[in-house]
Amino acid sequence: MHPASPRPGSTRAPEIQALRALAVLGVVTWHLWPGRLPGGFVGVDVFFVISGFLITGHLARELAATGRVRLGRFWARRARRLLPAGLLVLTATAVAVLVAVPERYWQQFFREIAGSALYVQNWVLAGDSVDYLRQTNDPSPAQHYWSLSVEEQFYLVWPLLLAATWWLASRARRGRRGGVEPAAPVSRRVLAAPLVVVLAASFAWCVHLTATDPGPAYFVTPTRAWEFAAGGVLALVLVRREGRSRLRAAASWLGLAGIAGTFLAFDSETAFPGWAALLPVAATVLVLWAGDPTDRWAPGGVTRLAPVQWLGDVSYGLYLWHWPLIVIVPFVVTSRETLLGNLALLLASLVLAALTKRFVEDPVRGSRRLSALPSRWTLVGTAVAMAPVLVAALVVTAHVADRQQQYQARLDEVVAGDVACLGAAVVDDPGCENPELTGEVYPDTGNARADDVNSPECWSRNGEVELKICTEQPEGEPTLRVALVGDSHSNQYLSAVRWLSRTAGWQVDVIGKTGCIWTGAQQVESPSWVDDCETWKRSLAQHLATGEAYDVVLTSASAASPIAPGDGTDAKEEAVRGFEAAWAPVVARGTPVVAVRDNPETKPDYLTCVDRSGASAGAECAVPEETAFRAFDGQPDAVRGLPGAHLVDLSRYFCQDGSCPPVIGDVLVYRDPGHVTSTYARTLAPMLQRGVEDALAGR
């Protein structure tokens, strides 16, 4: 027979330790072997429910005993429990980034380290997920602090909510008694009422935002609050769990199986959190409700095993350490992603977690001297401990910004200067040399992601439907009136058309929207994103049909953007038909449409390869042409089927002899695996001009 479970809210309950072990095992396994456990990310949701259950139970007991919550003491206790290990790992991560990670990552990594130190990392990632220019950011070693940030924000708000509810309910009861007799203690049901409201409102928002804007929905606190509330409501309604041992045993097994099932059934394609999060949350609630049943076939024989309980004990440290190792070790050891390499990394994470618990977490949490200090001193100490991480982040970010400013001045000088063989020009004159470039790459790998001249005034972002138009105006009378229309693969030629505006007298209206290609077909994205895109395209069509006619409409489109099949057509046929449908009204008006064939893609680790090979990055870093152009681009077929539409194919300036290198003519071709740097696009300007003029001349 198992001894009775500790009271609800006890952190030492064996079923809670087992849940922690299962949750962290799911997350770590998913990070190390995502194909083996594709839904392991739901382990975070298990932690959220546990936190809601434990913290609500603790606060409810304090309110029942004293009639108030000592907020400073509560926050100080949470700080002693969580921040020493959290800040230790952040400090170690910052040092490791400086020692082992190339400088090109520093700005992003330290920006996220600072966000994690302030426990707002979830909002940083949410902002990046809707910022198109940052959607291709590399995973940072502090990325996993998003969930800890959500937890800290919960700890900040939750006691205020419960204390306010208790105070209001107490005043209402005292008022009914005429203010003479003290009010009876507030019932747990009354205390649970605002939690039910939070649960319902947060879940509704979670479902809505997951369907309409899934990037931020994954990270923001309002879409996750209901998971804490679910655990909190359970803590308030669960007073006793004696008896019904067989029912509780069945519930416990069912809950554990439900969590394990989500690990296997969910994957990156699951719309999450949304409706799908109900399963792991409900499963966790079942296990917490069941407690530690004493029936002989209850899961206690497994959950009480020493390794399971130990893993629950070190789960926090394991969660903290494993992800920085996963991100940083490959910068030092290139063969990490092997079975032995991953096992070694897992072992190192477990050792670090155990050491952190033994020498950091337990001493700080159990220190009578620290506990006896006034709460304000703990909070001041927390701020002081955060300061080195924040100062380091500011110093490194300022250093990188200064380096970028100096580099940009040099880059502008090179691009604007009389360099005969820069970038794409070497394709037409392969024998030319530029000794003044001294083997440098422009932009260098540290500035690749920032090498983009996109302007917000020319760009409708996610969630925006306004047709934004900005004009590149030549000094004199325009020689050609051009509209540059489409998604980022069209907008990436902005540096080229700006140069042509200055040198060839083009007047260019730049009209673009994030991920929205100029097509009559429907793209495969979230419903609200599609609605925004369709609204924007209708405004674009009206502008092109009723505004002053252009001499030419120039466009390009991401071939990787998926198109929904139509009635009787597959996706490829629909892609071609969609371009024809969008372009036809413009052509019928007498305005030629010139489509630029989409650029090829390069390998994901091209920057690392270029770091090793420099300006000579050739066969080692190149991608075979058939691989680089593996996505179907419907524009060439649409041009062939629509008189008045023309194609500019710049493929030879990306690929030669069946190979597509990431560096051409001392210029880095790609700012990310799918987009061209503005510097390389600028070197393509003469070729783009020639292609447009040939199309207009009928050549």
pLDDT tens digits along 598-618: 999 999 888 888 887 776 776
Structure tokens at 473: 């105006």
Residues 524-530: what's their mean pLDDT? 70
Structure tokens at 264: 């296997």
Does 518 share its domain with 650? Answer: yes
Does 535 share its domain with 638? Answer: yes
pLDDT in tens, 207-250: 999 988 888 999 999 999 999 999 999 999 875 566 678 899 99
Taking alpha carbons only, the member of 351, 449, 50, 464 closest to residue 227 is 50
How open is the CA angle 239-242-245, to the nearest 5 degrees? 130
pLDDT value, residue 136:
54
Does 109 share its domain with 172? Answer: yes
Name the β-bridge partners of 659: 624, 656
pLDDT value, residue 284:
97
| H-type alpha helices, 266-374 | 278-290, 300-303, 306-313, 315-332, 339-356, 362-366, 368-372
Q: Is 654 helix (H, G, I), strand (E, B) or coil?
A: coil
Does 312 share its domain with 400? Answer: no
In a domain, 548, yes or no: yes
Domain count, the chain: 3
The residue with greater pLDDT, 54 or 5, is 54
Which amino acid is present at 641?
G
Structure tokens at 522: 């429907």
In a domain, 442, yes or no: no
pLDDT in tens, 678-688: 999 999 999 99
Domain range for 375 is 68-177+368-417
Is the pLDDT reported for residue 417 higher than 80? Answer: no
Does 235 share its domain with 287? Answer: yes
Does 534 share its domain with 575? Answer: yes
CATH number at residue 457: 3.40.50
In a domain, 439, yes or no: no
Does 244 share its domain with 162? Answer: no
Is the pLDDT reported for residue 179 higher than 70? Answer: no
Does 577 share its domain with 646? Answer: yes
Does 140 share its domain with 257? Answer: no
Is the pLDDT reported for residue 1 higher than 80? Answer: no
Last residue of a domain, one of 269, 295, 324: 324
Residues 144-164: what's their mean pLDDT? 95
Q: Out of 239-248, 631-640, 655-664, pick the least confident.
A: 239-248
Does 237 share its domain with 303? Answer: yes
Is the pLDDT reported for residue 63 higher than 60? Answer: yes
Name the β-bridge partners of 284: none
> Measured between alpha carbons, how far is 68 from 289 in angstroms, rounded to an integer?
26
Does 224 share its domain with 268? Answer: yes
Is the pLDDT reported for residue 275 higher than 90? Answer: yes
In a domain, 361, yes or no: no
In a domain, 57, yes or no: no
> Measured between alpha carbons, how far is 671 from 451 in angstroms, rounded to an integer?
6
In a domain, 667, yes or no: no
Does 552 share its domain with 410? Answer: no
Q: Do the Cβ atoms of 253 and 200 come closer than 8 Å?
A: no
pLDDT value, residue 121:
95
In a domain, 352, yes or no: no
The secondary element (H helix, E strand) that includes residue 545 is: helix 527-546
CA-based Rg of the chain, rounded to a whole angstrom? 30
Q: Do the Cβ atoms of 361 and 84 come closer than 8 Å?
A: yes
pLDDT in tens, 238-272: 755 666 788 999 999 999 999 999 999 999 889 99
pLDDT value, residue 296:
84
In a domain, 164, yes or no: yes
The residue with greater pLDDT, 138 or 328, is 328
The residue with greater pLDDT, 280 or 34, is 280
Q: What is the pTM of this model?
A: 0.81
Is the pLDDT reported for residue 318 higher than 60? Answer: yes
pLDDT value, residue 435:
65
